[in-house]
Structure formats: structure tokens, C-alpha cells
Structure 1
């Protein structure tokens, strides 16, 4: 039946053309944005997962920055400890040289004084971003320092931050408030010769004159310094050297851990980006192919609608004389 009121063919062609136009709009949005799932309306589950993981990746980016700051700090303090080990080793060598008969101990003591001044300079200079783990002038101890290491999300959705801890009691070289808190300012008790027997003695390397809690005698020599005292000083310096070596080793281990964690966080961020991409990114090869097909369908739909409208217009031929 042919009707002048209802053009069924044109209506069908128009509906098809509208569907094609809607599909084209979707494909064009995917091509222009690069996302297959750009909003929650596209796929609520995938959009929710992607949004959460992108947020976590931003947190991991901050963690990576914090690890970089932590690495810079530990590098600085390790450099200070390493330099201190070398200076204390030199002090030990000078004390051994003072043990030789006929040596000028006063001149050696001048060298010792300069070496101890160098230790003080190292401790004061090893500062980064306003922090110094080698030198303390405060009445309170530096305590344990925390370095942000990772951002974690548990299976139940709760989040937490993991930190790396370092106890600065293992690294403080000089404490001008409480001498017993500094490796170089606290007294080292040793056993030294005393004639045909032995005795205990306490020596410290750097004299923090304003500090409280200092015990023992400062390691310095003169022409009257006995060989027994020199042996005791050498033993005390050796004890200091061992503590410094252990401290540098601990800080070096923390530094290595930071480097490994930094590498892991970088890898984890890349993996998360890749996982999110698999969920929401558009396949441009597929979308371009689909766009070509839709463009063809659109042209055919327009032509079909034109034919349907033309068929309706042909009814006029029936009323011509």
C-alpha cells in the first residue's frame, strides 16, 4: 500500500541513518580522545578501576619523588661518614708514627689537631635540605628518621604508606649538647698496658667543650705522652673506626634499598599504566576500520532515504492529466 501520510520506507531509512550517525559519533569520540572507556557511562566497572589505579599511580609518583629525596640525603651522609673513616684512619696512622722513638710528638699533635678539625668540618657540612644526621647541637637527640618507601592498597581497599627507618644514633659523629650521643665525642673505654700489667682507660676523639656527659681524656699527645698511653689511644681510635665503619655500612645498605625500591616503583607505575590502558584505551586500528565502514553505511543510508522520499513523490504522477 502506498500512502501519502506515512512513508514507511523513509522512516526506516531515517532510523537506520540515525543509528549510523550515533555509532559514528561514538567512534569519532574514541579516535579523538584515544579512550574506549572515557566516562562512567561507557563502562562503569572499567572506568572505576581505571580511575582508582590512576589515582594510585599519582601517589606512587609522589613516592618516587620522596625516594629521590631520601637517596640524596643518604648519599650526603654516607659521603660524610666515608670521609670521616679516611680521616680517622689517618689519625690512627699518626698515633702509630708517634710510637716511634725520637719522633717529634708535638708536631704530630698539631697534625692530629687539624685532622680533628677536619672531622668537625665534615660533620657540620654534611647537611641536605636542612637536615644533618652527622652533627647535632640540639638538647634532644635526632632520633629515628623516616623515608617514604611505597604506597600500598590492600585487597579490601584500605591504603597505607610504608617507610624506611634509620636510627641516627648510629650516624651522629658530634653532639655538642650531649657528648655521649656522638661517635667522636663519647668516651671509648679500652684496656691499655700499664707497666707489666694492664689498666682500663677512656678516650674521646673530638672535644665538644660545651657538651655534658663527656668522659675520659681527649686523644692528643705531647712529648710527655707515654707509650702505654699511645697504645691506649690507638686502641680507642680503632674502636671509633669500627663504629664508623659499621655506621657507613648500615647507611650504605639503606641507600641500596632506596635505589632498589626506586627502580621497583618505576616498574610498578609502568605496569599500572599498561594495565589501565588495556581496560580503557581505544584500539586505533579497529576504530579506523570501523569508521570507514560507518562512513560507507552513512552514504548508503543517505541514498536509501533519498530513494524512499523519491518514491513518495512519484505518487504525483498518478494525478496528472
Structure 2
């Protein structure tokens, strides 16, 4: 009986060890260890949910990438359009031919927006009247379980209404605030010859005013129609900059604003750089009655984007607050022609713009394109921030899943080396127990033979 009991015990241990070796787990069912099995099951469930979250983040990242790439392409198109419009401002240019090029750019932008689709979602070209339209797109970024067992999800939210470029729905309306009059230089300051873009590293991006170089501009507004002279030369800059031979863009802007502040235009006009680095003069007040223009005069020898020598600048006008259709950045109403009729960045025509009114309309269209570039740039910035947030969350979820796997392993995984060694020992014990049982059985047969 003792040998049989020993064999049964060894067989039970052998079965348990064999199961651990074959499954790799020391707790494979609730009967092995109820507490550990329960915890491991909950963590496995969390990991399954995290895997779904990671998939959602992957899809969200793809959608953001698609929208960003579309925006980036259209931003380049808008910059090309801005250059074409600037060309059309020159005397003698056939605006009808320029319009042909602009039509091609407008068609390309529309096609790019329409094809920026990921997983059936298009965030650039939408129809807000559609029942399936959502102004906020939520990407599942994580989940948590509170003490009561309730699961809560966290999201990365992308506001489509802030980045859409085209909207087929024209029935909604939004309030458009009044705007200031702005005039822009033809190109960025650092790309102008005066700032030596091809110069040596020590002087590149700076201007030399140590000689007879002079900036002489005439700023005109609706209150100063004759113009206010702004002059910057060595004498004016000596006390305002560190080195007159290497004047930086920021030093030039500060000097311009100091000059303006010492004239009748104090508090009415400011100088700054736009997002592309172009020198910009802005009328502080808003509304259609406010204007600003910058002329270059005979004594101006340095071109900072408004020409040199005698050159009349275009008059820029502000706009009154109004209500317009709440469409996309490019197909919302951007302004109106002097002769009547509204236009948008996606649909305007300069081929018929002639005379003084035509020049004023073209200047207003250029300003509208500049504002559209700023809005598209802002939309790209928002998408970039969302992409960074999604990528960071995806990395965190991946790390969390690995930590959960380690937790599960600590609770339920078997030590394969130890269990394999134990299995070999138990197999040996089993063989010895079988032999002992056989000996015990044969011993009783010998005793019985004595009574025959």
C-alpha cells in the first residue's frame, strides 16, 4: 500500500509538472492559484483593449499624416499663386495669361484636397450638411478603469472645422471680424540683396549701413494722405544697432518702429515680419475706411521689398466686420470686387481687373491670399501638434503593454529550466516507484507459496 500511495503521489506531481512544461505556465487555470489567475486575466483583458487603442492610434496617425501632406502641398500652391499675383502687379503684364496659370493652381489645390482621404475620412474637403459630418474627430488614445470597474476612454481631438479647406455646404454663416489694412514686401528680408543671402557666414542675413546706404520710404494712410517720411541710414542707426555694418532683421524692424513712433503715425502703423519673413506694415485700426500704402522715393537706395528709387506702392484697405458663409479656408468669401461680386481664394478672376480700381482689387486679392497662407500654416501647425500627441501616446501604449506582459509573466509563467529538471527527477522517481511496487507484489507471491 505504501508503494502504491507513493506512486500515485509521484504521478500527480508528474502530471502537474508536465502541464507546466507544455504550457509554460505555473498558473494556467483558476484551480492553480485563484488570486493570481484573476489578476492575470484582468491584465490580459487590459492588454487586448490597449492593442485596440494602439490600432486606433495608428489609423488616427495615418489620417493626420494624409491631411498634413495635403495641407503642405496646398501651402506650396498658395505660395506659387502669391508669386503669380505679384507678377500681375507689374505694368504691362497680361493678366489674362497669369489668370490661366492661377486657374491651373486652383484646380490642383481642389484636386489635392479632394484626394486627401484616409480610411474613408477626408478632413480637407468636406460637406458639413452631410449627416455623417463631425466637426471634431476623436482618436481613441487610451483607457482607464476606476475602482468601480467603469472603463473611461481618453481621446486626441482634431477639430476639422478649423482645418477644412473646402466645404460644399454654403447654408451656414459665421461672423467675420473687421480686419486691418496691411501691405507686404515682395519677398522675405533675408532673401533681399541688401541682406546678403549669399554672403559669408559672418555677414549673411545682415545689411550694411556703414556707408551711404539709405532706406527712404513714404508711408501713407487715410489720415496722412501726403505721406510720412521714414528714413534709415548710418546716422539714424548708429545709436539703435550694435554694428551698422551688420544690421539684423530684428534690429531693422525695431528701428522702423522707433522712426514711426516719432512721427504723426505713432499708434497708427506698425512694422513687423510675417510668417514668411516679409516686411509688413499694418494699420492698427480695423475697418474698410482704413488704408495704408508704402512708396519708395528718389533717395531710397536699399530695396527691402518695396523697391528702390521712385516707386508707388499699392494702397491696402481694411475690411468691416461682416457675416459670410461658414465654408472652408479657401472657398469662403475673401472679399468683393470694386465693380461688384464676391470672390474666394478658390475662385477669383484677375483677367478683367484694369485701371486704378483693378490694381486696388488685385492688391486686396494678394492680401487675401496672404491671409489664407497664414491660416493654412496655422492649420498645419495644429495637425503637427496632433501628430506629435498621437505618436507620443502610441509609444506610451506600447510601453504599457510590455509592462503588462511582464506583470502577467511574473504571476503565471513557469520557470522552464526548473520545471524541466523537476520533470526529469519525477520521471526517475516514477520508474523507481514502479519497480518498488513490482518488488512488493512479488514478495507477497513468495509468502503465499509457503502455504502451498
The TM-score by the shorter chain falls in which range? 0.7 to 0.9
- CA offset at residue 88 of structure 1? 0.8
Task: Check if 1:104 corresponds to 2:94.
Answer: yes
Asked if structure 2 preserves the Cα contact closer than 8 Å seen for 1:144 and 1:168, the reply is yes
- Within 5 Å, give how 1:22-101 maps onto structure 2: 22-101=12-91
Picking from 318, 323, 326, the partner of 1:200 is: 318
Q: Which residue of 1 aligns with 2:150?
A: 158
Q: Which residue of 2 aligns with 1:288?
A: 420
CA 190–103 in structure 1, closer or farther in 2 if over 3 Å, else same? farther
Picking from 393, 405, 408, the partner of 1:276 is: 408
CA 139–212 in structure 1, closer or farther in 2 if over 3 Å, else same? farther
Q: State the Cα RMSD in Å.
A: 2.9
- CA offset at residue 139 of structure 1? 2.3
Picking from 209, 212, 224, the partner of 2:354 is: 224
- CA offset at residue 90 of structure 1? 0.9
Q: Which segment drifts farther, 295-304 or 80-89? A: 295-304
Please give the alpha-carbon distance, in whole angstroms, between the structure 2 residues aligned to 1:266 and 1:85.
34
CA 257–114 in structure 1, closer or farther in 2 if over 3 Å, else same? same
Please give the alpha-carbon distance, in whole angstroms, between the structure 2 residues aligned to 1:51 and 1:28.
22
- CA offset at residue 108 of structure 1? 1.1
Deviation sequence 1:190-219 (CA, Å, 0-9, x none): 526888472434899xx99xx997863324
- CA offset at residue 135 of structure 1? 1.3
CA 315–135 in structure 1, closer or farther in 2 if over 3 Å, else same? same
Q: How many residues align?
A: 303
Q: TM-score, normalised by structure 1?
A: 0.84
- CA offset at residue 300 of structure 1? 2.0
Q: Secondary structure at the match of 1:178?
A: coil
Q: Which segment drifts farther, 25-34 or 37-46? A: 25-34
Q: Which residue of 2 aligns with 1:302?
A: 434
Please give the alpha-carbon distance, in whole angstroms, between the structure 2 residues aligned to 1:259 and 1:14.
63
Task: Check if 1:251 corresponds to 2:383.
Answer: yes
Deviation sequence 1:39-83 (CA, Å, 0-9, x none): 100000111111111111111111111111111111111111111
Q: Which residue of 2 aligns with 1:12?
A: 2
Please give the alpha-carbon distance, in whole angstroms, between the structure 2 residues aligned to 1:62 and 1:307.
61
Deviation sequence 1:241-262 (CA, Å, 0-9, x none): 1110010110111112212222
Please give the alpha-carbon distance, in whole angstroms, between the structure 1 residues aligned to 2:110 and 2:20.
64
Alignment gaps of 5+ in structure 2:
183-219, 226-289, 292-316, 337-341
Picking from 126, 130, 136, the partner of 2:120 is: 130
CA 107–300 in structure 1, closer or farther in 2 if over 3 Å, else same? same
Picking from 165, 190, 209, the partner of 1:173 is: 165
CA 134–181 in structure 1, closer or farther in 2 if over 3 Å, else same? farther
Asked if structure 2 preserves the Cα contact closer than 8 Å seen for 1:188 and 1:236, the reply is no
Q: TM-score, normalised by structure 2?
A: 0.61
Q: Secondary structure at the match of 1:145?
A: strand
CA 79–179 in structure 1, closer or farther in 2 if over 3 Å, else same? farther
Alignment gaps of 5+ in structure 1:
1-10
Q: Secondary structure at the match of 1:152?
A: strand
Q: Which segment drifts farther, 158-167 or 308-317? A: 308-317
Q: Which residue of 2 aligns with 1:8?
A: none
Asked if structure 2 preserves the Cα contact closer than 8 Å seen for 1:133 and 1:142, the reply is no
Please give the alpha-carbon distance, in whole angstroms, between the structure 2 residues aligned to 1:127 and 1:187.
32
CA 129–250 in structure 1, closer or farther in 2 if over 3 Å, else same? same
Q: Secondary structure at the match of 2:139?
A: strand
User: Is the helix fraction higher in 1 or 2?
Assistant: 1
Please give the alpha-carbon distance, in whole angstroms, between the structure 2 residues aligned to 1:220 and 1:90.
16
Task: Check if 1:119 corresponds to 2:109.
Answer: yes
CA 213–107 in structure 1, closer or farther in 2 if over 3 Å, else same? closer
Please give the alpha-carbon distance, in whole angstroms, between the structure 2 residues aligned to 1:239 and 1:290.
77
Q: Which residue of 2 aligns with 1:145?
A: 137
Please give the alpha-carbon distance, in whole angstroms, between the structure 2 residues aligned to 1:106 and 1:142.
40
